[in-house]
Amino acid sequence: MTKELMKGNDAFAEAAVRAGVEGFFGYPITPASEFLEYMAKRMPELGRAFLQAESEIGAIHMVYGAACAGVRSLTATSGPGLSLMSEALSYIAGTEVPAVVVNVMRGGPGLGNIAPSQSDYNQMVKGGGHGDYFPIVLAPATVQEAIDHITLAFDLADKYRSLVFIAVDGNLGQMMEPAELPPMRVLPEEPPSWSVYGAKDREPNILTSIYIDPPDEEVTNIRLLRRWMEVEKNEIRYKEYELEDAEIAVISFGVAGRICSSALRTAREEGVKVGMIRPITLAPFPTEAIRELSKRVRRILVVEMNTGQMLNDVKQAVGGRVPIEFYGRIGGITPLPDEILEEIHRVNQNTEDIADGQEKVEWLERLEARIERGDQ
Amino acid sequence: METNIIVSGFGGQGTLFAGQVLAYAAMDAGKHVTWIPSYGPEMRGGTARCTVTISDESIGSPLTRNPAIVLAMNLPSLDMYEPLMMEGGLIIANSSLINREMEREDVRGYYIPAAEMAEAIGNPRLSNMVMVGALLEAEAVLPLEVVKNALGEHLPKRHHKTLPFNFKAMDDGAAFVRAAK
Amino acid sequence: MIEMEVVYSRPESFTPTTTHYCPGCTHGTAHRLVAEVLDEMGIREKAIGVAPVGCSVFAYDYFNHDFVEAAHGRAPAMATGIKRVRPNNTVYTYQGDGDLASIGMAEIVHAAIRGENITVIFINNAIYGMTGGQMAPTTLPGMRTTSSPGGRDVETMGYPVRMSEMLSTIDGTSYAVRRSLHNPANVRKSKKAIRRAFEVQERGMGFAMVELLSSCPTNLKFTPQQALDFVGDQMVSYYPLGDYKVAPEVKALKV
């Protein structure tokens, strides 16, 4: 085992290089810039394409072009950049070419701040761009997982000719943790048959997202949906923690999920029968696993670093079977284990039913009381 | 066993690097470890702090509200973390820049004139390593030798001529605490 | 025996398809010139076109080589992505005035700034065609369009932009010229410029753009001949034909 202590963004970038990325196109944005800086040095060393574009719009359309040319290509950005990229993301999905986007999430909306956040859940999971399309969204919680997800993202992107997001937050991008990098992928000698590389001894390849006759677009939409159903069948990933005898369950993703796992450990030591599901694919969402879980536990606590975006997907999975409570920190604040522990104890003792929507009202009251106390 | 260490000071005091040295050593010692900075938009001159978590098990949260150990390189760091320390925690305070007594009685503390001691070795920028040496003597987080080896292993080659001074800074820090025990 | 000689045939770079363009529109002419140049240079098999959003959105139906379809205005960025990872291919964009000079201004300017080794064919007909005759960035002062019904008032709607002149000021531009398609003599000159613009790319000399003044009889509510006369009279006087930037090494090229 040759573990190295690497900074998250650097480790992800090197992992991308080893996953065979031949085109990186980006634009500086905190807290994702180290990714760009790493690639600026590394890609030319290997004779691969690196370019700092004029904008995130330019960057993602370059990714789109390189993807059409049949090479593994990606960009790394943060929320404001991702908003600008929304146009091309829809085109990439509509053209059915593989591409990977790393989103190092920060506080928003607007310019927001540069502190860690998970507030781009809806933007990625629900599409962000126009039209009916279904990106795959991976949410690693450790540097090692993020490294592994880069390779996974490209494999999934290639397999389904799909857009894949890797959703991390500034914590993961900035932190160091021992991790092992994958071996260098041998670059393919032949471009994919569908890509554009010159129509020599074959019919031209045309890559477009226009289907001007509605029946053609309908067939395309059906194809995209059918492919997504395949993804849903094959690619749902999540991690379970201490669920065997759990009476209450935490559902949380990414860094929030790993913080919950610390609180979980302490709560267990204190005798609370609590477990957790940490969705690794936010899309496709582990709906079935959560539905099954809701038959076994008496209460669920959803923890996110946003105002409850995944919460809606959990609710849909649970279908009102058990009460769901929510705890979130927002605006770029990362919750700490002690406040999650407090929540776990509270939820464990709470036997009252909770009306749909009430969980947010009560959470806000608790959060505002915390802010009032100056207890950040 | 899981220990959270916060290294906190002004930008330029080498707080992030001190944390990284501990993180490298923990990794080399076969421990689980995370290092996470609190980052701001400023490049220089602001506060700089990082949290190092060392554990025998896989690490959940890389962050904590109530640290077990704080290396306070300046007064604002002591002001910030003293009230947050876990009971029985340990503060190593840089008395070169901290002119007040600790208020908590349930927290152990060592005052060490890290800046003056670094100055005496010939490089004021070594105060972070004095603090690290002091920590390792005050609490058996990691063996001093492991940390020294980690520094040798992971310090870029071009800085290797500074290794003896770094080692001396750690030794002096450790000796100071040993004498004060 | 009567001796037969082929004087006109479909270029290999063209598909045997009838275009959807309006009678009197010069897109077909511009397409044909590009196809002839690709044939003559023997680069059809490595050509990758980038189609715009606009009337020529389906350009890829008419060219017999690989093609991608860009989002509105982003063709130069997409072409950049392709060229950077497939430097041995010949990559060109084909863009209209709304695409290149309005929504895609940042992308074209920065492609030029980088001296991106791509070829750009810029169709300037002073109007938005596909969306139904709205004011373009190149619409002449006083011209009535569906979104400037009282005529383009430069006080409130700004001035027409001269892209060739503008891009000629950029160090990364190797070749920026304006030609016109309003009569046979100018069509021949246009073809020569297109040939040179592709030769620039084949020799790795950087960014090359040919601006082609073009006609849009339908949206300008002209007969085909009137539309060509409008280009030759009105447009040429606002957009003078000529070579705005020809880098010394490009000038030295024997084409």
Q: pLDDT of A266-320, one tens digit each?
A: 999 999 999 999 999 999 999 999 999 999 999 999 999 999 999 999 999 999 9
Show residues of chain B in contact with A337, CB under 8 Å. Answer: 60-61, 63-65
Instruction: Tell me what pLDDT residue B74 has.
Output: 95
pLDDT band at C2 (very low <50, low <70, confident <90, very high): confident
Flag whether pLDDT at A210 surpasses 50. yes
ipTM of the complex: 0.95
How distant is the Cα of C74 from the closest Cα of chain A, in angstroms? 7
- Given CB atoms, is A83 within the 8 Å cutoff of chain B? no
Rounded-to-10 torsion of CA C68, C74, C76, C80: -70
Flag whether pLDDT at C254 surpasses 90. no
C-beta atoms surrounding A227 within 10 Å: 16
Selecting from A55, A65, A210 the residue whose C-beta is nearest the C-beta of C78 gives: A65
- Given CB atoms, is B149 within the 8 Å cutoff of chain A? no
Show residues of chain A in contact with B34, CB under 8 Å. Answer: 175-177
**Cα A133 vs. chain centroid, distance in angstroms?**
16
Instruction: Tell me what pLDDT residue C255 has.
Output: 81
- Strand order from edge to edge, sheet including C90-96: A206-207, C66-69, C47-51, C90-96, C119-124, C207-213, C173-180, C242-246
Show residues of chain C in contact with A196, CB under 8 Å. Answer: 48, 66-68, 82, 86, 89
Q: How does pLDDT run across C149-179, given as a tens digit for each residue? A: 999 999 999 999 999 999 999 999 999 999 9
- Given CB atoms, is A263 within the 8 Å cutoff of chain B? yes
- The residue extents of the domains of chain A are 4-234, 239-373
- Given CB atoms, is A266 within the 8 Å cutoff of chain B? no
How distant is the Cα of C86 from the closest Cα of chain A, in angstroms? 7
Radius of gyration of chain A (CA): 21
**Beta-strand (E) ranges in chain C?**
47-51, 66-69, 90-96, 119-124, 173-180, 207-213, 242-246
Please answer yes or no on whether C85 and A91 come within 8 Å at the CB atom: no
Mean pLDDT score, C15-19: 93
Give the right CATH number for A4-234 from 1.20.1730.10, 3.40.50.2000, 3.30.70.20, 3.40.50.970.
Answer: 3.40.50.970
Low-confidence winner among A210-214, B144-148, C251-255 (lowest mean pLDDT) = C251-255
Q: Is the peptide bond before A286 cis (omega within 30 degrees of 0)?
A: no
List, as ranges, residues 63-102 from B with C-beta within 8 Å of A: 63-66
Q: Chains with 3 or more CB pairs closer than 8 angstroms to B?
A: A
Does residue A337 contact residue B55 with C-beta atoms inside 8 Å? Answer: no
How distant is the Cα of A337 from the closest Cα of chain B, in angstroms? 7
Q: How does pLDDT run across A141-164, given as a tens digit for each residue? A: 999 999 999 999 999 999 999 999
- Given CB atoms, is A206 within the 8 Å cutoff of chain C? yes
Does residue B36 contact residue B61 with C-beta atoms inside 8 Å? Answer: no
Instruction: Tell me what pLDDT residue B41 has.
Output: 47
**Beta-strand (E) ranges in A139-247?**
163-169, 176-179, 206-207, 238-241
C-beta atoms surrounding A254 within 10 Å: 30
Best mutation site among B21, B58, B61, B154 for testing chain A: the one with the most A CBs within 10 Å?
A: B61
- Given CB atoms, is B124 within the 8 Å cutoff of chain A? no
Please state, in angstroms and as integers, the Cα–Cα distance from residue C254 to each residue in A76, C58, C115, following that order: 44, 33, 21
Rounded-to-10 torsion of CA B89, B94, B97, B102: 30
- Given CB atoms, is B39 within the 8 Å cutoff of chain A? yes
List, as ranges, residues 202-231 from A with C-beta within 8 Å of B: none
DSSP conformational letter for C151: -
Residues near C241 by Cβ (< 8 Å), separated by ≥ 6?
C178, C179, C180, C186, C189, C213
Best mutation site among C69, C86, C114, C117 for testing chain A: the one with the most A CBs within 10 Å?
A: C86
Show residues of chain A in contact with C109, CB under 8 Å. Answer: 54
Distance CA(A128)–CA(C170), nearest Å, equals 35
Residues near C48 by Cβ (< 8 Å), separated by ≥ 6?
A69, A196, A197, A198, C65, C66, C67, C68, C82, C86, C89, C90, C91, C92
Q: For B2-180, which CATH superfamily applies? A: Pyruvate-ferredoxin oxidoreductase, PFOR, domain III (3.40.920.10)
Q: In this structure, which amino acid lies at residue A355?
A: A
Mean of per-residue pLDDT scores for chain C: 97
Mean of per-residue pLDDT scores for chain A: 96
Helix, strand or coil, per DSSP, at residue C108: helix
Phi, psi of C57, deg, nearest 5: -60, -30
How distant is the Cα of C67 from the closest Cα of chain A, in angstroms? 5
Distance CA(B153)–CA(B157), nearest Å, equals 9
Instruction: Tell me what pLDDT residue C131 has.
Output: 93
How distant is the Cα of C15 from the closest Cα of chain A, in angstroms? 10
Show residues of chain B in contact with A3, CB under 8 Å. Answer: 27
Please answer yes or no on whether A114 and B39 come within 8 Å at the CB atom: yes
Q: How does pLDDT run across C95-154, given as a tens digit for each residue? A: 999 999 999 999 999 999 999 999 999 999 999 999 999 999 999 999 999 999 999 999
Q: Are strands B2-10 and C47-51 parallel, antiparallel or unpaired?
A: unpaired
Does residue A26 contact residue A49 with C-beta atoms inside 8 Å? Answer: no
Residues near C184 by Cβ (< 8 Å), separated by ≥ 6?
none
Mean pLDDT score, A214-236: 98
Instruction: Tell me what pLDDT residue B42 has.
Output: 46
Mean pLDDT score, C65-85: 98
Beta-carbon contacts below 8 Å between A and B: 68
Q: What is the mean pLDDT of each run of 10 residues along chain B (181 residues)?
A: 95 93 96 87 67 97 96 95 96 97 96 97 95 97 96 91 96 97 84
List, as ranges, residues 57-96 from A with C-beta within 8 Å of C: 57-59, 61-69, 71, 73, 87-88, 91, 95
Distance CA(B132)–CA(B71), nearest Å, equals 8
Record the tokens describing residue A47, joined without a space. Answer: 């004779």
Q: Which alpha helices (H) appear in A19-55, and where do they start and end?
A: 33-45
Best mutation site among A27, A60, A68, A205 for testing chain C: the one with the most C CBs within 10 Å?
A: A68
CA atoms A318, A324, A329, A335: torsion sign = negative
Residue % of chain C over a pLDDT of 90: 96
Q: Chains with 3 or more CB pairs closer than 8 angstroms to C?
A: A
- Given CB atoms, is A103 within the 8 Å cutoff of chain B? no
**Fold classified for A239-373:** Rossmann fold (3.40.50)
- Given CB atoms, is B153 within the 8 Å cutoff of chain A? no
Please answer yes or no on whether A65 and C89 come within 8 Å at the CB atom: no
Task: Locate the chain A residue with the closest alpha carbon to B31.
Answer: A178
Please answer yes or no on whether C74 and A57 come within 8 Å at the CB atom: yes
Please answer yes or no on whether A65 and C82 come within 8 Å at the CB atom: yes
Per the DSSP assignment, residues forming a β-bridge with C176 are: C209, C245
Listed residue (C39, C85, C55, C90) closest to C216, CA to CA: C55
Flag whether pLDDT at A1 surpasses 70. no
Record the tokens describing residue C138, joined without a space. Answer: 């190149």
Instruction: Tell me what pLDDT residue A375 has.
Output: 73
Does residue C224 contact residue C63 with C-beta atoms inside 8 Å? Answer: no
Q: How does pLDDT run across A89-147, given as a tens digit for each residue? A: 999 999 999 999 999 999 999 999 999 999 999 999 998 899 999 999 999 999 999 99
Instruction: Tell me what pLDDT residue B24 has.
Output: 97
Domains and CATH numbers, chain C: 27-251 (3.40.50.970)
Record the tokens describing residue A190, joined without a space. Answer: 């032949």
Please answer yes or no on whether A260 and B41 come within 8 Å at the CB atom: no
Distance CA(A82)–CA(C71), nearest Å, equals 16
Radius of gyration of chain C (CA): 17
Helix, strand or coil, per DSSP, at residue A199: coil
Q: Chains with 3 or more CB pairs closer than 8 angstroms to A?
A: B, C
Return the residue matching tokens 């001093």: B144
Listed residue (B106, B105, B121, B103) closest to B171, CA to CA: B121
Show residues of chain A in contact with B66, CB under 8 Å. Answer: 338
Residues near B162 by Cβ (< 8 Å), separated by ≥ 6?
B123, B155
> What does B24-91 look like in DSSP terms, one character per residue?
HHHHHTT-EEEEEEE--S-SSSSEEEEEEEEESS--S-S--SS-SEEEE-SHHHHHHHGGGPPTT-EE
